[in-house]
């Protein structure tokens, strides 16, 4: 496969160690504590693309998919 599959928001939060479990990610996302590109995102299955900016708990993460 030549292209990397998109990553879901909940998976991304676990990958960058912002949360320790999928359940924690679900709770925070559905609680409106996570933004994607400066907009509150309530869907944990939101697919992220290169260049998306995820913010949570005063931290900012730039999505880079190889």
Q: What is the architecture of the domain spanning 7-62?
A: Roll (3.10)
pLDDT at 5: 80
Full-model pTM: 0.87
Q: Where are the domains of the chain?
A: 7-62
The CA-atom distances, in angstroms, between 46 and each of 2, 10, 34, 57 are: 22, 8, 12, 19
pLDDT bin (cut points 50, 70, 90) of residue 3 is low
Residue 46's nearest CA partner among 31, 24, 28, 29 is 29
Tens of pLDDT, residue by residue over 6-63, are 899 999 999 999 999 999 999 999 999 999 999 999 999 999 999 999 999 999 999 9
Angle at CA of residue 21, ends 19 and 24, nearest 5°: 70
Start-end of H helices in 1-66: 9-15, 22-30
């Amino acid at each position: 496969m030549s292209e990397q599959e998109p990553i879901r928001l909940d998976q991304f939060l676990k990958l960058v160690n912002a949360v320790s479990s999928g359940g924690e990610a679900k709770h925070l996302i559905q609680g409106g504590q996570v933004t994607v590109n400066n907009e509150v995102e309530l869907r944990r299955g939101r697919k992220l693309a290169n260049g998306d900016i995820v913010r949570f708990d005063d931290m900012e993460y730039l999505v880079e998919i190889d």
